[in-house]
Amino acid sequence: ADAEFFKGIGTIPFKPDAGPTETLVYKHYNAKEVVRGKTMEEWLRFSVCFWHTFRGTGADPFGFPTLVRPWDDGSNTMENAKRRLRAGFEFFTKLGVKYWTFHDRDIAPEGETLAETNKNLDEITDLALELQKKTGVKLLWATCNLFAHPRYMNGAASNPDAHILAYAGAQVKKGLEIAKKLGAENFVFWGGREGYHTILNTNVLTELTNMANFFRMAADYKKKIGFTGTLLIEPKPKEPTKHQYDYDAMTVIGFLKHFKLENEFKLNIEPNHTTLAGHGYEHDIVMASAFGLLGSVDSNTGSPDLGWDTDQFPMDVKNATLVMKTIIEQNGLQPGGLNFDCKVRRESTALADMFISHIGAMDTFARGLRNAAKILEEGVMTKHVKKYIMDNGNPTACSGQQEHCEAMLNYYV
């Protein structure tokens, strides 16, 4: 029999009457419950990310690792990588989520050569495929890490050095192949180093054009190999660079349209990135959806008073309600989902914290789904907007009634 990594924690049950300290049960998320014609599971399509949850160490710019996992011996070996993956699938299963996501470099160690790295990926994805089949957990999306290795410090697709761009191309080629192999429903690009630190050493138009060419090649290769997942670009305004080219939803939409890529890509919106760009929590989700380009959501949150990406678990029911309202209005995110690109705080060192954090976020979104469904069911808020648009029959100042709308929303949250 397989080793058990999370001893003492079983499959998380639905227990709606649980008390406040019982944070290892679902009080609101009831996977098979039907809401507006779909199960909660179908609407929410929760996914666990491998990087934060199984590769996160708790290190930050001012501190060393704090998170010690019993299955991880800290080595860069294939054995360690496989143990981590098995622990991951035990976690996904006990939590009861149906999807996971990863970067290529999270799951398999980088080798001395690209060939060795790819061989490692082949071997690990064999195991991943086996575990997916065994558990029924599917791959929401894969992505390539084109930002952590020093070779990418000046960018990958926008790097001034053609050799590095070529290396990035080879990496994405392999990334798309393993995405296909694992049946990924999407493939994400996050351009962490595509941007600039100082305009003094940068030619922005050259770099943007190179990026567009890179994306075009990726889209071509996807078709060539018959990968059918959706390609997604994830906007972020800054960090690690001073300016990241994929600043926010509208910036990426402008980029896609300028370079005629809008039929090949959709957006993966992360609210913590949205708020760093100076917008309200739900803004980029609303905008991307309005333009028909909302593909998936990295459902996390930041602290509004902090200027960097904290990737916290989303615990605010009002925000979750507004997000789910938009998602229901576009009839779901499929083939996208709600991926928890979140990490436990580096002070949350217990194994149980891994569960508690995901459960808290899932319950928050379950409440958001129920609230949003009720809002749309009763229709009074939607009617209010329609009436506001249609009834204004004379050029005077008609009340916008923001507080009335806020009070109506508070009825539901």
Residue positions annotated with a catalytic role: 103
Q: 11 or 21, CB closer to a second copy?
A: 21
Supply the minimum distance, in Å, between the C-beta of residue 152 and a second copy.
8
d(CA 338, CA 365): 9
Contact 48, 55 (CB under 8 A): no
Amino acid at 15: K
DSSP 314: P
Q: 11 or 399, CB closer to a second copy?
A: 399
Supply the minimum distance, in Å, between the C-beta of residue 54 and a second copy.
17
Supply the minimum distance, in Å, between the C-beta of residue 101 and a second copy.
17
Q: 191 or 229, CB closer to a second copy?
A: 191
Cβ-based neighbour number of residue 272 at 10 Å:
23
Dihedral sign, Cα of residue 277, residue 283, residue 288, residue 291: negative
Token pair of 206, please?
Answer: 């050259």
Supply the minimum distance, in Å, between the C-beta of residue 380 and a second copy.
5
Q: 34 or 350, CB closer to a second copy?
A: 350
The separation between CA 293 and the C-alpha centre of its own chain, rounded to angstroms, equals 15
Of residues 362, 357, 360, 363, the one with CA closest to residue 345: 357
d(CA 362, CA 97): 10
d(CA 155, CA 170): 15
